[in-house]
A and B are shown apart, each in its own frame.
Chain A
Amino acid sequence: MIPAPFTYQRAGSADEALELAADGGEDAKFLAGGHSLLPLMKLRLAVPEILIDIGRLSELRYIRDGWATLRSGTAGRSAARWRTPTPRPTCPPWSWPWTAS
């Protein structure tokens, strides 16, 4: 299976990504890694006309541990989150049991 045709755009910065999204309107979707979106596109459950790749934006790849919040950058990898120790063991996905080690 392959997705329906779309135009691939790679954003060079978060600001550019927002501009591309504004230009694309409802026809555009962001692509970080793609492991959720691309299977949906193969099944035609999602048919965006424009994909804006934000996967290389290091400014969106962070985990910030605040007093009452944990913020995970939208281009961060799940694997990085699982490897990050946190004082909040009840906060998914950090709470998944197999991430304890």
Chain B
Amino acid sequence: MKVIMTVNGGQIEAEVPDRTLLVDFLRDVAGLTAANIGCDTSSCGACTVLLDGQSAKSCTVLAAQADGRAVVTVEGLASGPDEMHPMQLAFRAEHALQCGFCTPGMVMAAVSLLAENPLPTEDEVRTALEGNLCRCTGYHNIVRAVLAAARDGAAGSDEAAAVDGAAGLAASEAVAGRRSA
């Protein structure tokens, strides 16, 4: 079927088989390889992206389900190629990654959390990241990074994550407009 979606602020249109998964659409059609395929069964969260502003495991969403909606991957978080999103800065500062495979998903889940809950407790961070596994077991630093980003006001800086379901496409286009301006 023909799928049109807004990915990191730009519109992408492609004719894909009905069974195409969103993560494969992002990696193979959009050329964005940050969302990783880990477990492939929605357990590990390495493929987490924002779908209309909320975290979703893109290995378990059809591209067809994302038709007409706005997707943000970790490539689309920062405001420019030489910039980093506050959550990325916090992950770097707190040494919240080891091998890095889970990191794109962790960052997107964390951004989604702060969009809903700008100042979470440590318990709330751990609960929100339950669906994301780190096989290097670096959880303490990841939680520390999310708490640090929250303290630094990362939630308020993120326009993409604030996109609400109904207004997803329009708002995302507005973001694209601002970026290209």
Contact = CB atoms under 8 A, between A and B. Distances in A.
B41 A42 contact: yes
Interface in B142-163: none
B71 to A, nearest CB: 15
B94 interface: no
Interface stretch (A4-12, A15-23, A62-70, A84-92): A4-12
B127 interface: yes
Nearest to A77: B54
A34 B65 contact: yes
Decide if the interface of chain A is mainly helix, strand, loop or mixed.
Answer: loop
A7 B18 contact: yes
Interface in A49-81: 51, 53, 55
A31 B60 CA distance: 11
Nearest to A98: B127
A39 B42 CA distance: 7
B19 A39 contact: no
Interface of B: 1, 17-21, 24, 40-42, 57, 60-62, 64-65, 123-124, 127, 130
